[in-house]
Amino acid sequence: MSTVHEIAARLPDPAELRAHLRALAVLDAAIGDDPQYCCYTFDADWGPGEEAALMSNGSGDEFSVLFTPAGVLVRGFDHESTMSPYARDDERVWPGVLDDVPAALRPPLDEPAFWDEVIDAPHVTACIWRETTDTAWRTGSAIAFPPDNESPDGAGHLFHLLADRSPEAVQSHFADYYERPVPLEAVRHVLAGHPLTPSVAGALAPAALPDTALRDQDTSE
């Protein structure tokens, strides 16, 4: 079973996570040919002293990673999860998911962008957080996950590129999402924090590569 507990144990420190999320947003924008179809975005001006990394796959699954002066809050929503408020008769957040979130990090959960006014509940099936004084990521300590489900809260697929940050995993994701080859060396370059040079941007952008190059590009290099 893959849940927030397993994902939290594989997350890096906040600074490394922030850099990785920024890199994912850069890669998505460079590889895609239409910004409205990007899954990963990064907003450096989300609020006073706040930054937000956002993911939306266009099918109802999403996450937000809010970097605030009080710490970092990771919120995930799997629309098909049995832990979704929409799958419950009382339309409430699954017990234990948010119960332990410290007061200093609760305000982001009330953001209109993550809240459904109809059911008066946030879009959330998984939550991870880390206050500035913490030395490790934390999750709800008393979550009774539904049985017989390999990923009951959706954390396994929502956060797979946060848990596995390897260039190979990132390359595989974008190649599958955009259904075309993605050069591994260009992915490595961006993930390492290097500037998006014209040559790297050209290698990633579909319009910059001729059809023959796209067909012949070896994605396993």
Residues 154 and 177 in one domain: no
139 burial level (CB within 10 Å; 0-12, 13-18, 19+):
buried
**pTM exceeds 0.85, yes or no:** yes
Residues 143 and 191 in one domain: no
Indicate the number of domains in the chain: 2
Q: What Rg do the C-alpha atoms of the chain give, in angstroms? A: 18
Which residues constitute the domain of residue 134?
A: 4-165
Do 147 and 102 reside in the same domain of the chain?
yes
Of 16, 41, 24, nearest to 160 by C-alpha is 24
* Residues 94 and 172 placed together within one structural domain of the fold: no
What is the structure's pLDDT at 215?
40
Q: Tokens 């012949």 map to which residue?
A: 216
Same domain for 82 and 37: yes
Do residues 152 and 210 share a domain?
no
**Domain shared by 88 and 197, yes or no:** no
The helix (run of H) or strand (run of E) holding residue 127 is strand 126-131
State the average pLDDT for the chain: 91
Same domain assignment for residues 111 and 128: yes
* Predicted local confidence at residue 36, as pLDDT: 84
pLDDT tens-digit map of 50-105: 999 999 998 999 999 999 999 999 999 999 999 999 999 999 999 999 999 999 99
Residues 130 and 174 in one domain: no
- List beta partners, residue 77: 62
